[in-house]
Structure formats: structure tokens, C-alpha cells
Amino acid sequence: MVARLIDGKALAAQLRAGVAEDAARFRERHHRAAGLHVVLVGEDPASVIYTRNKEKAAAKVGIAGQLHRLPEDVSEAALLEQVGALNADDAVDGLLVQLPLPDHIDPNRVVDAISPSKDVDGFHPMNTGLLSTGRPGLVACTPRGIMHLIAQTGLDLKGARAVIVGRSNIVGKPMAQLLLAQHATVTLCHSRTRDLPAVCRDADLLVVAVGQAQMVKGDWIKPGAVVIDVGTNRLEGRKLVGDVDTESAKEHAGWITPVPGGVGPMTITCLLENTLIAARRRLADLD
């Protein structure tokens, strides 16, 4: 079997066109653009690129993106003050603070300070709690993007065996909740899972988010399975690879996401979707 590729880039472009239409409708109704505000502390090179990409992607669909840069040595109190000011600003519909933060700042305090109604990352405990109890809130962008990608394959999640490798708050845990809500039977694996290859081999759907280059091999994959590779790892020759060994996995999987061009483009797309969801909900509340 040679797997079909799930083209995240094409799907993201298609969804962003829809987001642009929604953003235009929002501008017409409310006489201003929806606003996405991103706070970046320090100069971490990857974070600088990610946040610029978020700002640019927002502008392209007609969302007013604004990046707020603070110095590496900003105090936690000053950062919390900035978050408070953005919470209070009615032109701010979506707000996120880029992670990781410098060691002297407690990320939990910062995430907890973001207004849940503007928390477009879906990281606030109010939003994670709503997700885990099956109630509407804002949902983390990467798992939301993955649900769109899975839908492309036609896989019926009802009763399907879904295995997630990686239990992070950003991907693994919310992914488990979204799949459970679609009636999959979910196994959430991590570094202490016994005989991980055997658990993976049982999966109709395998989502891998561990941050280890090419860890999952082809013979860990059930023939015909859908494989979602969340990893982006740079090899020494600068080549970008996922957490799955794509070449051997393609021989077993039915569908697989490429790296790059799979999950990555979907994450920012879902951030834009979340911004419009947050904007509309907030204004309906205020009307």
C-alpha cells in the first residue's frame, strides 16, 4: 500500500478563503476589522518567526493583527498588566501570549490572566474545562486543524481506535477530547507507555506529537491507517522532518500528512477561525 497524502496546505488555503469572507462580513456589520493581538516576550528566533507569521496571516484574510513585543527581562507584573490592558480593550477580539516564556515568568499565571472569551489559543483552564465537558468554548488550534485534516480522509471516527502519542496540554490532551466527542475509542500514550509500537499497531487513526524526529516507524502502523504527524524537527542537514518516519510509514498507512505541508498550515488557519469565533461571540454578548 502507498499512502495518500493529506494536503494541509491546500486545505488551509481553502479554509482561509472562507475565513476572509467571514472577516469581510464582520467588517461590514461592525464597521471595524476583527482584531488578533499577539504578545511576544524576548527574541527567541522560532517565536519571532511564528508570531510574524500569525500577524501576516491575519492581515491576508482581513483581520487586524497586531504584535506587541516586550523585552526578555520584562517583569511578570508588567506582562500581566499588558494582558489586562488588552483584555479591557474592545478592539481586541483574540489575544495570545507566545510560549515559551522566559524562566522568571510563570506561564500558568499568564494564561490564567487572559480573558477566556479572547483566549484564541484555547489554553485557559476555563476553555480546557469546557472542552472536556463537551460544552462550547475556544479550542486549541492544532487539534482543531487536525480534525479538519481527518475529515478529508473520510474516516468514520465512530468506534474507531484512535491512538495519540504525546500528552501535552497543547496537542495530546485536547486532541483526545475532540476525538472522544466524535465517539472514537481513544488511547493517550506517552514516554512511559509499555510496548508503544504494539499500541500504535492497533490504531485506525494515529496522531503523533512527541517532538522526536522520525520516531514512529512504518512497521508500527496498521495497514490502511490514517497517520497525522504533528512533529517539525530540523535534522542536522537542515531538512525538516516529522515525528513519523514518513518514507517507511507511507508503505503501510492509507493516508498520511506530509511534513512540511500537513498540520503546520492548518494551525494558523484555525487561529484565524478562532479569532472570528471569539469576535462574533463577544459582540453577540455585548449587543
Catalytically active residues are 54, 98, 121
Regarding 128 and contact with ligand GUN (CB under 6 A), the answer is: no
Which lies closer to ligand GUN via its Cβ, residue 94 or residue 254? 94
Please state, in angstroms and as integers, the Cα–Cα distance from residue 239 to each residue in 126, 233, 265, following that order.
Answer: 39, 8, 18
Which lies closer to ligand GUN via its Cβ, residue 121 or residue 243? 121
Which lies closer to ligand GUN via its Cβ, residue 141 or residue 175? 141
Regarding 210 and contact with ligand GUN (CB under 6 A), the answer is: no
Binding to ligand GUN (CB under 6 A): which residues in 141-180?
141
Please state, in angstroms and as integers, the Cα–Cα distance from residue 208 to each residue in 60, 110, 157, following that order.
Answer: 30, 28, 17
- Contacting range for ligand GUN; rule: CB under 6 A; set: 84-92, 93-101, 199-207, 217-225: 93-101
Which lies closer to ligand GUN via its Cβ, residue 107 or residue 129? 107
| Per rule CB under 6 A, count of chain residues that contact ligand GUN | 6
Please state, in angstroms and as integers, the Cα–Cα distance from residue 36 to each residue in 57, 132, 177, 266, following that order.
Answer: 10, 25, 26, 17
Report CA 47 to chain centroid distance, whole Å: 15
- Contacting range for ligand GUN; rule: CB under 6 A; set: 8-16, 67-75, 96-104, 183-191: 96-104
Sole binder of ligand GUN in the list 48, 99, 126, 215 (CB under 6 A): 99
Q: What is the dihedral of CA 30, 125, 46, 242, to 10 degrees?
A: -110
Q: Residue 143 Cβ, how far from ligand GUN at the closest point, in Å?
A: 11
Q: Among residues 136, 179, 134, which one has the least CA distance to residue 161? A: 179
Helical (H) or strand (E) element with 54? helix 45-60
Regarding 48 and contact with ligand GUN (CB under 6 A), the answer is: no
Regarding 70 and contact with ligand GUN (CB under 6 A), the answer is: no
Q: In a 3-state reduction of DSSP, which class is residue 13?
A: helix
Q: Residue 256 Cβ, how far from ligand GUN at the closest point, in Å?
A: 22
Q: 261 and 233 in contact (C-beta within 8 Å)?
A: no
Regarding 127 and contact with ligand GUN (CB under 6 A), the answer is: no
Sole binder of ligand GUN in the list 22, 55, 93, 121 (CB under 6 A): 121
Helical (H) or strand (E) element with 237? none
